[in-house]
Structure 1
């Protein structure tokens, strides 16, 4: 249940986001972010806020561990929309890698979504988001965040 303990603290974040997802594009937009994460419920909950000053938005993530299913539910809110997602990404860690799946909408159409968290060490981690239009047979990574402890 302490899978996200590694994230507690202050981070510099390098974001790389695909300019146009699910279009065959390979043009990436890179921008900085700054994140602060905290642990709660003895490690069974994790909150973080990321600020992306050059993009003019902030995001908030809430993660809660379910001891019965041994899975995490991850919820996201953005200052751009002012809405907390009601459909979580759900999954678990195996070692230093966690995979989480859920349903999203991209440009008005439903897509499968995957988050991958990789713990690289005490001072580095990576998050990736990918979409699938074919129910998970193929994935396109459209956003990565490389975390370096501040």
Structure 2
């Protein structure tokens, strides 16, 4: 569904389609002293839902390091027209039956910042997703953590570079 409403509901329209994804992550994203990075590739697809007020994307990684196990993941994004806020939930085969706590935020131009609380081993942390729309065929996503309620943010610990390979499948 395409309309002329400019309240933020179209901010993720750029991501509808099929993508080749190159991921890069710290071996242990929760270890603030970890400096060892691993890289991997995957394939994904994003489709609109709810008349454009949300979308779902899937990501398949044949071999996620370390260990080389396959991983399937999915993201649910929902837009609230009353607030102009997007909420983003992540789920994966690495943690079956778990839907991560959502992050929330919005785009300003071609950059989006989405934050929310989480917990690792009983320690509270704020998670930040950062989206950057490079152009219509390339987008970048990064993740950071704050262990002090947003006063400071760690360096990026996970990235995806998405390159378009086609429109959504049939």
TM-score (norm 1): 0.94
RMSD of Structure 2 on Structure 1 (CA) = 1.3
Once the two structures are TM-superposed, the CA of residue 86 in structure 1 deviates from its matched residue by 5.5
Which of the two has higher C-alpha Rg?
2
Matched with 2:49 is 40
CA–CA distance in 2 between the matches of 1:66 and 1:78?
Answer: 24
Matched with 2:164 is 149
CA–CA distance in 2 between the matches of 1:134 and 1:95?
Answer: 28
CA–CA distance in 2 between the matches of 1:62 and 1:27?
Answer: 29
CA–CA distance in 1 between the matches of 2:141 and 2:121?
Answer: 22
Greater strand proportion: 1
In structure 1, the residue corresponding to 2:139 is in which secondary structure?
strand
CA–CA distance in 1 between the matches of 2:91 and 2:97?
Answer: 6
| Equivalences for residues 55-134 of structure 1 within 5 A | 55=64, 56-85=70-99, 87-134=101-148
8 Å contact from structure 1 (residues 75, 84) kept in 2: no
CA–CA distance in 1 between the matches of 2:100 and 2:39?
Answer: 28
* Higher deviation after alignment, 79-88 or 9-18: 79-88
Once the two structures are TM-superposed, the CA of residue 107 in structure 1 deviates from its matched residue by 3.5
Q: For the structure 1 residues 144 and 86, does the alpha-carbon distance in structure 2 shift closer, same or farther, using more than 3 Å as the test?
A: closer
Q: For the structure 1 residues 38 and 84, does the alpha-carbon distance in structure 2 shift closer, same or farther, using more than 3 Å as the test?
A: farther
Listed as ranges, the gaps of 5+ residues in structure 2 are 1-8, 65-69, 166-170
Among 45, 49, 53, which residue is 2:62 paired with? 53
8 Å contact from structure 2 (residues 91, 100) kept in 1: no
